[in-house]
Chain A
Amino acid sequence: DSGVTQTPKHLITATGQRVTLRCSPRSGDLSVYWYQQSLDQGLQFLIQYYNGEERAKGNILERFSAQQFPDLHSELNLSSLELGDSALYFCASRTGTANTGELFFGEGSRLTVL
């Protein structure tokens, strides 16, 4: 158990819909990262938050947005969903700010868009 909690574990929805994925980081971790894992793209970095503020953006589509709340949990919002958005979405958290630290991953939210 990494200490990172993601909900829901599985989600099936239709094209054009909007979903919200939730992540609770490990206790005390201020940084939250979102990654998308798909067969054709591998593990792609989407966005990072640190203590409520956006720190870095990766290959995140404009249809996607995220935020980190005062209690440090984070939500990833995916809208106008397309078939190609079907993937496993991981949240990870990290202790501290040193670049040597590891990421702790949740078990992921598997999104299927039909």
Chain B
Amino acid sequence: AQSVTQLGSHVSVSEGALVLLRCNYSSSVPPYLFWYVQYPNQGLQLLLKYTTGATLVKGINGFEAEFKKSETSFHLTKPSAHMSDAAEYFCAVTESGGSYIPTFGRGTSLIVHP
């Protein structure tokens, strides 16, 4: 069965600082990995995804993530945080060849200080 662990329910950074949100997954088959963002009072929207090919994936708003199979990780990064990045971030996994039921992590709340 697939599972996702997001380390840290809250991450606090200063504006302009590096953002690093951690995601580790468990999957018995090659995974498909996603990061979603949820702004206050909104639904989740896709930031980026990894399916196959290049392991460094670039998404919207300057975010990127790297799939590391040996570490079973898919951490999300952004070089310089903006105040507008404050939101809840969810990592999700589906399994190739299986039914498409994404399993989501518990989410990490990103707090950006001026």
Contacts and interface: CB of A to CB of B under 8 A. Distances in A.
Interface in A76-94: 90, 92, 94
Contacts of B12: none
Given A107-B42, A107-B43, A43 B97 contact: no
A56 B43 contact: no
Interface size class of A (residues with CB under 8 A): 20 to 34
Closest 4 pairs between A and B when the two form their complex, measured CB to CB: A105-B43, A43-B104, A42-B106, A100-B51
B42 to A, nearest CB: 6
B101 A58 contact: yes
Contact of A2 (B32, B43, B95, B98): B43
A51 to B, nearest CB: 14
Interface in A24-45: 31, 33, 35, 42-43, 45
B34 A99 contact: no
A99 B44 contact: no
A100 B99 CA distance: 11
Contact of B32 (A58, A100, A107, A108): A100
Interface residues of B, number: 26
A99 to B, nearest CB: 5
A101 B100 contact: yes
25 contacts: A2-B45, A33-B101, A42-B104, A43-B44, A43-B106, A45-B101, A58-B101, A90-B43, A92-B44, A97-B100, A99-B32, A99-B96, A99-B97, A99-B100, A100-B32, A100-B49, A102-B49, A103-B36, A103-B46, A103-B102, A104-B45, A105-B36, A106-B43, A107-B41, A107-B42
